[in-house]
Structure 1
Amino acid sequence: MTTDGTYTAVVDRFEDDLAVLLLEDDGETVGEVAVDAGRLPEVGRHADAVLVVELADGELVDAAYDAAETTDRAEAAQSRFDELSRQPPSTDADSDADSP
């Protein structure tokens, strides 16, 4: 069970009317909690939204959407994807040019 306190949370997925939040502490995932999606800020009711949440007795007390962190993480993920999608130059074309 996750201890009470304030966490950075990322909306991982939705299961029916529940939002499953991955809880982070110092950048490490330390747990997850399922909450009624209606308890989240409307702008934060989407996958990968970053929230600052407060838990007490294992229940959500407060949740605030972190627009800047959500944008930063989305841009970083897109940048990693773009970099991975770039293919290195083909060595086959080079070897064909060297053939007589």
Structure 2
Amino acid sequence: MTNDGTYTAVVDRFEGDLAVLLLEADGETVGERVLDRQRLPEAGRHVDAVFTVELADGDVTTLDYEPAVTESRAEDAQRRFDDLSQRPPSRDDESK
């Protein structure tokens, strides 16, 4: 069970009317919570949306959407993908 406190939560997926949020602490996934999709602010009702959440007695008591963090993570992921998709130089290119 995840301890009470403040966590970063990321929408992992939707299962019908439910949102599955992965809880993070210090960059590591430490748990998950399942919430009714309607509890999420409309702007944050998408996969990879980032929230700051507070847990009390194991339940989510506050849920704040973090649009700047969401955008930053998306940009970082795209940058890593772009870096990985670059073709490494061939032996012919290296000899020139």
In the alignment, the residues of structure 1 paired with residue 85 and residue 75 of structure 2 have an alpha-carbon distance, to the nearest angstrom, of: 15
Name the % identity: 68
Q: Kindly report the root-mean-square deviation, in angstroms, between the aligned alpha carbons of the 2 structures.
A: 1.6
For the pair 1:71 / 2:66, whether they are aligned, the reply is no
Q: Per-residue deviation at 1:56?
A: 1.6
Please name the residue that 1:9 is paired with: 9
Please name the residue that 2:61 is paired with: 61
Gaps of 5+ in 2: none
1:1-100 equivalences under 5 Å are 1-91=1-91, 94=92
Q: Per-residue deviation at 1:28?
A: 1.3
In the alignment, the residues of structure 1 paired with residue 84 and residue 65 of structure 2 have an alpha-carbon distance, to the nearest angstrom, of: 29
> How many pairs align?
94
In the alignment, the residues of structure 2 paired with residue 37 and residue 54 of structure 1 have an alpha-carbon distance, to the nearest angstrom, of: 17
In the alignment, the residues of structure 2 paired with residue 2 and residue 35 of structure 1 have an alpha-carbon distance, to the nearest angstrom, of: 15
In the alignment, the residues of structure 1 paired with residue 50 and residue 26 of structure 2 have an alpha-carbon distance, to the nearest angstrom, of: 14
TM-score, normalisation: structure 1: 0.87
SS of the residue aligned with 2:34?
strand
Q: Per-residue deviation at 1:90?
A: 2.2
Gaps of 5+ in 1: 96-100
